[in-house]
Structure 1
Amino acid sequence: MDMHSGTAPATAAERRTGSGEPATRAWVLVWRKMVVMEATGTRADRVVGDRTLLGWNIVFWVILAMSLAVSFTAPLSTLQRGIAIGAAVALGASYQFIGRPAIQSRSQVQSFVFRVILIGCLMVLVGLSPASVFMMFIASAQVWLLSASVRDGIAFSLALVIGCGTAQLWGAGWGWQPFWMILPWMLVSLIVSLLFGIWIERVIAQSQQRAELIEELHAARDELAEAHHSAGVMAERERMAREIHDTLAQGMTSIVMLSQTGAAELAHGSDTVGARLAQIEATARENLAEARALVAAFTPVALSEATLTEVLRRQGERFAAETGVDVQVLLDLDESEVVELPQSQQVVLLRAAQEALANVRKHARATSVLITLGLRAGRVCIEIRDDGSGFLPAEPSTGFGLAAMRGRVEESGGTVQVNSSPGQGTVVQVLIPVEDA
């Protein structure tokens, strides 16, 4: 292209104006890459990741090197070529020391300074070597990348297009012919830059909202996980408390009462002390076995060695031997049906019977207890009836036994009913839906 003629040759003008089309296409590809980056979950406070920044660096330096190489093919004087080289060096240095830190830190001052230098150096390069106009695509992308708002991006996009268009017109010799040839491509570049810039700003805003929403969801998930963990810990503590109460605590209570009875008999010279000691030893051994099973989270030792009916009868016999209370166990269903009950239900029924007997021992002063195991309306039922002193179920309880029983039964989907009144005895009824074995 003749830099000193009044008008540019048609072929040069065609080459110059035609350079806008590949620049626009390449610019679109860069922005599409940014959209993909934003849509894949890049944090709002880190617009450009390390890999994307590396891509920006490579594209920028390659295009700048190409622009500098093209300038050596243009018919320029020594002074003009020196000015072009100086503009390229200034642009590269400003990008290295101002532009890259601005992209990473989002500093508004650095962003403003770099964009001013970018447009100025690009005007010099385009004015001296019109083929350098293809650098507009990277310049347009960086203008929007470093813009703090849509208004900021529009202002610098206008400045970039007007500046480069003016530089092209100056290089072509300020004629109307090159003006009308340059104008369409400048308008196309401006429109594409504005449309894609505004669109990308909206995408970034939506990505920022999405990132904030994701952070809120993560925070809510962490809170929910913490709540579930706390609930699990509390549930496990309650379960362990029930197990200890229904096994070790009741066994210890039996040992204490048997020891007190044995001491009283020994003071009176009774010959039944040996039997009491045997009962204490048996209870202690059973407690030890229950403790080991509890630590290992096994089924109660008694149920692992016998059926539920046999265990209930043994519990009744031992209770009668320890307290002198007449205990009867009535089976209101076939033995095979008892065996087919799921192990978890058998444990609940056994613990309910043990807790009811413990309450009879502590509070009822009863003379007889009837334990009935049967089926009612599709539910397995165990009922413990005594003729003791009774109480008012509506009054608040200070003990843990009935609450533990209710908690265990309700976890199995069952219910606990307690009917009692002073002097009329107590009936504890546990109903659990029958599950498949």
Structure 2
Amino acid sequence: MDSSRVPLLAPDRGPAQAAVPVPHRWNAVVWVLCGLVPPALAVADTPAGTKYPTFVLLSVMTCAYAAVAMFPGRELLRPTAYLALLAAGVGAVSYAMGSGAALFIVSLPHFWIYASGPGSALALSGAAAALTAAGTVTGGDPGTELLGGNVLFTLAGYAAGSTVGLLVHRITEQGEARTRRLSDELADTQQALVEAHRRQGAADERERMAREIHDTLAQGFASIIVLAEAARAGLPSEPARSAQQLTSIEQTARENLAEARALVGATSPPGGGIQGPVAGTLRRALDRFTEDTGVTVDAELAEVDCDQQTRIALLRCTQESLANVRKHAAASAVAVVLDQSAYGIDLEITDDGDGFDVDAARGFGLDGMRKRLAELGGELTVTSSPGDGTRVLAQLPGPRAEEERA
């Protein structure tokens, strides 16, 4: 689109915008008070041959301006036709009164507001200046000088108005170019942000799936492997124990299958089948752990009030801690305490196993527990050292802590 065809100061004359911009309202007020009213007052006491034609001309120009300015988008009168009429009207008033420089000067902004571009504004305002000067010379008293005061004032006003109009047009053009550039940069930035959010969302989803697989399927398969090895080793000497372990393998495999279907089908979040009080859910997990490993578990599980996501987090933390005890700790006893206060829920799991160096530990399980708790506003604290056992403390906020944080 050629920028020279864009009106310099023109409002959007689309159907959706019928309101007159505030600067244009002030221009209309100035034009009426300083452009139309003075000629009307000046001819009020003149003969009818001067007075009435001047009144008619001023009325026609007023109605034409109202058709363009007060009803944008309705095409009651095209802006170019209005400007041609305005130029002719200013010249006719100058002829009728013998002067019209003031009316021309006050009317100059109209040419830059409603013209289709700077070239059109210069041409139409130049025609108005020429008609004003010609009307002043031909309609004035006999002997009016060709370059009298009114004519010089008209030409000077045209020169000054053209200079200011071109300057404003240049500034406006630069502003529009800068606006377009900034809009393009904003669109590119928004697209890049959308793409970054998409990539981040995909990464977050992959991490969530990896955590769920680690906490469910991977732990289940690890348990199946340990139980299968124990069952095979105990078949000759402890067939009853091996049968019990095979039953545990079957149960764990069924649970893994259900978790896999939930992950693949996304019918419900993994662990979504957890029902009943969380204490009972944890109790069943501890009983399975004792049954599979023979390690004694001392549990103090209070009934806590929490939502499903918190219950899943508590269960996963318990399962991961017990899996670590089974794989690494070589513990003979485990203690589990679940408690709730007004400020939160605490889950503490301790063992008397080998312990480890927490700072040197690099495991997906601990990081997964930390992130899972952090998503719910909680935190994980692991205390251990080689030979001194391990203490895992999972803390989740309660109703009062949520209210204070809010």
TM-score bracket, shorter-length normalisation? 0.5 to 0.7
Tell me if structure 2 keeps the 8 A contact 1:140–1:160. no
Aligned pairs for 1:316-395 within 5 A:
316-331=286-301, 333=302, 335=303, 338=304, 340-375=305-340, 378-395=343-360
CA 1:10 to 1:167, structure 2 compared with 1: closer, same or farther past 3 Å? farther
Tell me if structure 2 keeps the 8 A contact 1:20–1:185. no
User: Which one of 202, 206, 225 corresponds to residue 256 of structure 1?
Assistant: 225
In the alignment, is residue 275 of structure 1 matched against residue 244 of structure 2? yes
User: Which one of 415, 434, 437 corresponds to residue 379 of structure 2?
Assistant: 415
| C-alpha distance in 1 between matches for 2:82 and 2:128 | 22
Q: Name the residue aligned to 2:398.
A: 434
Q: Name the residue aligned to 1:88.
A: none
Tell me if structure 2 keeps the 8 A contact 1:415–1:430. yes
Normalising by structure 2, we get a TM-score of: 0.65
Aligned-partner SS, 1:385? strand
- Post-superposition Cα deviations, 1:266-287, rounded to whole Å, max 9, x if no partner, equal 4778454332221111111122
Q: CA deviation at 1:177?
A: 5.0
CA 1:308 to 1:225, structure 2 compared with 1: closer, same or farther past 3 Å? same
| C-alpha distance in 2 between matches for 1:289 and 1:165 | 92
| C-alpha distance in 2 between matches for 1:230 and 1:279 | 41
- Post-superposition Cα deviations, 1:213-256, rounded to whole Å, max 9, x if no partner, equal 55555555554444444433333332222222111211121112
- Post-superposition Cα deviations, 1:313-361, rounded to whole Å, max 9, x if no partner, equal 2111111222222222222x4x3xx2x2232222211111111111112
Tell me if structure 2 keeps the 8 A contact 1:320–1:326. yes
Aligned-partner SS, 1:393? coil
Aligned pairs for 1:153-164 within 5 A:
159-164=126-131
User: Which one of 271, 275, 283 corresponds to residue 300 of structure 1?
Assistant: 271
| C-alpha distance in 2 between matches for 1:60 and 1:143 | 7
Q: Name the residue aligned to 1:241.
A: 210
| C-alpha distance in 2 between matches for 1:374 and 1:381 | 5
CA 1:276 to 1:371, structure 2 compared with 1: closer, same or farther past 3 Å? same
Q: CA deviation at 1:427?
A: 0.7
Identify the structure with bigger relative contact order (alpha carbons < 8 Å, sequence gap 6+). 1
Instruction: Specify every segment of 5 or more residues in structure 1 that has no aligned partner in the other structure, as ranges.
Output: 1-8, 35-50, 68-118
Tell me if structure 1 keeps the 8 A contact 2:224–2:252. yes
Number of matched residues? Answer: 343
Q: Name the residue aligned to 1:38.
A: none
User: Which one of 372, 385, 388 corresponds to residue 424 of structure 1?
Assistant: 388
- Post-superposition Cα deviations, 1:118-170, rounded to whole Å, max 9, x if no partner, equal x9xx8xxx79xx89x9999899348954228xxx96x6577434433355467
CA 1:170 to 1:267, structure 2 compared with 1: closer, same or farther past 3 Å? farther
Instruction: Specify every segment of 5 or more residues in structure 2 that has no aligned partner in the other structure, as ranges.
Output: 1-46
| C-alpha distance in 2 between matches for 1:265 and 1:412 | 43
| C-alpha distance in 2 between matches for 1:210 and 1:143 | 22
Tell me if structure 1 keeps the 8 A contact 2:64–2:77. no
Q: Percent identity?
A: 33
Q: CA deviation at 1:300?
A: 2.1
Q: CA deviation at 1:395?
A: 0.8
Q: Name the residue aligned to 1:147.
A: 118
Aligned pairs for 1:29-48 within 5 A:
30=68
| C-alpha distance in 1 between matches for 2:272 and 2:179 | 56
Tell me if structure 2 keeps the 8 A contact 1:371–1:384. yes
In the alignment, is residue 290 of structure 1 matched against residue 259 of structure 2? yes
Letter in 1 for 2:221: M
In the alignment, is residue 265 of structure 1 matched against residue 273 of structure 2? no
Q: Name the residue aligned to 1:81.
A: none
Letter in 1 for 2:312: V
CA 1:197 to 1:14, structure 2 compared with 1: closer, same or farther past 3 Å? farther
| C-alpha distance in 1 between matches for 2:49 and 2:145 | 11
Q: CA deviation at 1:420?
A: 0.6
